A = this chain, B = another copy of it.
Amino acid sequence: MQDIKILQIGLGPLGIKIANFIKERRGLTTVAAVDKNPDLAGKDLGIICGGEASGILIQSELNQAVAKEKPDIAVLTTVSDMQRITPQIEEIVALGIPIVSTCEELCYPWDAAPSLAKRIDEAAKQNKVAVVGTGVNPGFLMDALPTFLTAVCQDVTSVQVNRYQDAQFRRLPFQQKIGAGLTPTEFEQKKQDGSLRHVGLTESMQFIAHRMGWKLTKTEDIIEPILAEADLQTKDLSIQKGQARGVRQVGNGYVGEDIKVHLVFQATVGEPQSYDEIIIRGNPDIISRIPGGVNGDVATCAIVLNAIPQVLRAQSGLQTMADIPLVSFFS
């Protein structure tokens, strides 16, 4: 079978990691690359990825990138929000190219951004291609996976997901991303400017609620620091008592007074255990636990690639992980 030809759009750290993952995979080949960053224009993708020259030069414009050969699918790793991704998607699907994207808000935009979702859906249908947003979270651990686990339930009254991560041995950028080492005031500032927020918690709640048939009357997305009770030291970072050692983000999806969806993401330096846990209350209760948790860096890149065959099989339009056939590793 011929390789699936991939157009990569967005060559930031995530796009580069995906490019390297594609190289490892049988059945997938990157044939073109686009990034608006002028520093990358004309550079060889292979070199940018830390390897040998590939002959694929990064283009600034989509039209240039696809001039020679039409790709089978675009992997879009540019932005996290619907506002900015929508025109990008419209430009790509207009060329008849389906899309899988890591855009967090695209994973389930029907409630949070209905008019943009509709715009994408119509553009995709008009061009007879599917558009899917996915990732490990949102896209899997806190929405698609708990939703699939309810398949064995005759009734479901609530869904809870706990994702706890010990950042002790993670890279410095991850520790900084979760606010480790910030004073409470600095943490609050970063919370206000949005740079601490895990994007997609509300979308994950709406994904689950939609499938369970619950009309959420209110959603909450609460961010707070977890403060160090003693001085802490990692390889790269000193955290003093009273500074943040990480973040706790809680999503609550209500129907009336009842919390029907409860999502907890807590990542700190010195978290006693890393794990992903799903607690479904219903008939029967289902509790599922992944000890150690799922490493987000590998998983997000992997699930985007694993989704490709199913996006190509999917009906046209804006689809979610709940709409396309079961995504899995393939080779």
A contact residues vs B (CB 8 Å cutoff): 21, 24-26, 136, 140, 144-145, 147-156, 211-213, 282-284, 286-292, 294-295, 298-299, 301-303, 305-307, 321-331
Contacts and interface: CB of A to CB of B under 8 A. Distances in A.
Given A211-B330, A326-B147, A302 B140 contact: no
A291 to B, nearest CB: 6
B322 A323 contact: no
A287 B298 contact: no
Given A212-B330, A322-B325, A329-B212, A152 B284 contact: no
B154 A24 contact: yes
A23 to B, nearest CB: 11
Contact of A283 (B148, B286, B298): B298
Contacts of A290: 286-289
A329 B150 contact: yes
Contacts of A303: 151-152
Given A140-B152, A152-B303, A154-B24, A328 B287 contact: no
- Give the number of times this chain occurs in the complex, counting copies: 2
25 contacts: A21-B154, A140-B152, A144-B148, A144-B326, A145-B148, A145-B149, A147-B328, A148-B328, A151-B303, A151-B307, A151-B327, A151-B329, A153-B306, A154-B305, A212-B329, A283-B302, A284-B294, A284-B295, A284-B298, A286-B290, A286-B294, A287-B291, A288-B288, A323-B326, A325-B325
B329 A211 contact: yes
Which among A148, A212, A213 has the highest number of chain B CB atoms within 10 Å? A148
Contact of A328 (B211, B298, B302): B211
Given A152-B303, A154-B298, A287-B291, 14 more contacts: A25-B154, A147-B326, A151-B306, A152-B298, A153-B299, A153-B306, A154-B301, A212-B330, A282-B329, A284-B298, A287-B292, A322-B325, A323-B325, A323-B326
In terms of DSSP, what is the predominant structure of the interface of chain A?
A: mixed
Contacts of A321: 326
